[in-house]
């Protein structure tokens, strides 16, 4: 059982860069817009938590990614609705099996978020949204690539025992992405801050000689009967 290809898990906050890109792409939540955030947010009679009980104040998109501020993403999702988020997730390969000569899961991406509770869960990669490790890796590679969603390669090349190359699998693309370079740079800048900012949630991954970009994520797992 190949967990990288065949297993699906809640993606958690590694999903949130796509929420930011959705808001930017559709002009609903721009990079400078701020929401007042705290340790919890009441949504239709239910309290939704932030991962940190110490984060308070006004957060924009960059600060929210750096601190993985759940309460920002809940409010951003309420402002734009489910359609832009789900469309962006599909463009980045969620909900569809990667093209490989092996069985690979499509994960789970809902057709819509029927309630504000579902929408809040969607905004942080929780609820019914599930992805394989490969799908997440492809989404991150797409942000880095900037032009397209790359097609994964199982084998780069084959060669004889004498070292002669017999076949080379050239890099390919699965789809172009409808995201402008300035929007991508906003998200990349924030993902650089996740690792390199003093308050970044991924600062343990910082390297002195290599610029590292990243996004932390945790998720709650629910067994379904």
pLDDT at 225: 55
Q: Where are the beta strands (DSSP E) in the chain?
A: 35-37, 40-43, 46-49, 57-59, 148-151, 157-159, 165-168, 172-176
| Residue 120, phi then psi, degrees to nearest 5 | -65, -45
pLDDT at 144: 93
Count of C-beta atoms within a 10 Å radius of residue 104: 19
pLDDT at 180: 93
Interior angle at CA 23, CA 19 and CA 26, nearest 5: 130
The per-residue pLDDT string of the chain (225 residues; one tens digit each, 9 = 90 and over) reads 999 999 999 999 999 999 999 999 999 999 999 999 999 999 999 999 999 999 999 999 999 999 999 999 999 999 999 999 999 999 999 999 998 889 999 999 999 999 999 999 999 999 999 999 999 999 999 999 888 999 998 899 999 999 899 899 898 898 898 899 999 999 999 999 999 999 999 999 999 999 999 999 988 776 665
DSSP character at residue 184 = H
Sign of CA dihedral 203, 205, 208, 209: negative
Burial string for 16-45 (b: 16+ CB within 10 Å, else e) reads bbbbbbbbbbeeebebebebebeeebebee
Pairing of strands 46-49, 57-59: unpaired
Torsion of CA 139, 141, 147, 152, to 10 degrees: -90
187 contact partners, CB below 8 Å, separation of at least 6: 17, 20, 21, 61, 65, 143
Measured CA to CA, the distance from residue 213 to residue 203 in angstroms comes to 10
pLDDT at 83: 97
pLDDT at 166: 87
44 and 115 Cβ atoms separated by less than 8 Å: yes
How many Å is the Cα radius of gyration of the chain?
18
Pairing of strands 46-49, 40-43: antiparallel
Output the furthest CA–CA distance in the chain (Å, rounded).
69
DSSP character at residue 222 = -
Distances (CA, A) of 62 to 18, 47, 81, 98: 13, 24, 20, 29
């Amino acid at each position: 059982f190949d967990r990288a290809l065949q297993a699906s898990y809640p993606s958690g906050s590694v999903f949130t860069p796509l929420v930011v890109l959705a808001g930017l792409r559709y002009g609903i939540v721009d990079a400078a817009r701020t929401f007042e955030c705290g340790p919890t947010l009441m949504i239709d009679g239910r309290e939704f938590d932030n991962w940190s009980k110490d984060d308070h104040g006004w957060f924009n998109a960059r600060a929210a990614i750096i601190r993985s501020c759940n309460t920002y993403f809940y409010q951003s999702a309420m402002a734009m609705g489910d359609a832009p988020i789900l469309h962006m997730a599909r463009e980045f390969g969620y909900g569809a099996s990667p093209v490989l000569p092996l069985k690979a899961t499509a994960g789970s991406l809902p057709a819509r978020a029927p309630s504000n509770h579902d929408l809040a869960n969607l905004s942080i990669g929780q609820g019914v949204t599930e992805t394989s490790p490969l799908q997440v890796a492809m989404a991150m590679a797409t942000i880095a690539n900037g032009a397209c969603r790359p097609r994964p390669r199982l084998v780069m090349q084959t060669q004889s025992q004498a070292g002669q190359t017999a076949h080379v699998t050239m890099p390919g693309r699965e789809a172009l992405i409808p995201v402008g370079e300035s929007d991508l740079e906003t998200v990349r800048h924030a993902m650089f801050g996740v690792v390199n900012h003093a308050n970044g949630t991924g600062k343990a991954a910082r390297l002195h000689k290599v610029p590292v970009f990243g996004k932390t994520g945790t998720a709650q797992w629910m067994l379904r009967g």
